[in-house]
Amino acid sequence: MTDVIKRNGKREQFSEQKVKNSIESAIKDAGLNPQQKSGLINNTVNDVKQQVMNKNEVRTNEIRDIVIDDLDQDEEQAGETTVGQAWRNYEEEHGIIYEEKGGRRR
């Protein structure tokens, strides 16, 4: 099973339910109904699982990058920018800073 290394250095076992809950929270924060985005939720959770399950350990920022990429991709196709932005707003409100892909800091 894959260990997740959290920002504080603690380790815990990977939980697809935690990933799902986080995505659902972002969808709600965007003012949308998670049931209407169930395909996005399931596809994103499956994408995360596929990319991390063969690893012994993964950092939370790696999981975050996969989720953000999937949310952004879905929004480009749908012509909206709400769920990914809601995720980023949550991070900003809680002082969570990750280095964005490409070396940019948020």
pLDDT tens digits, 6-45: 989 999 999 999 999 999 999 888 888 899 889 999 999 9
Pair 3, 13: CB distance under 8 Å: yes
**pLDDT for residue 46 is more than 80:** yes
Identify the helix (H) or strand (E) that includes residue 57: strand 57-59
Domain ranges of the chain: 3-93
The CA distances from residue 48 to 23, 52, 60, 80, 105, in Å, are: 12, 6, 11, 22, 22
Determine the pLDDT at residue 30: 85
Determine the pLDDT at residue 78: 59
Average pLDDT value for residue range 41-50: 96
> What is residue 80's DSSP assignment?
-
Min mean pLDDT across 36-45, 50-59, 87-96 is at 87-96
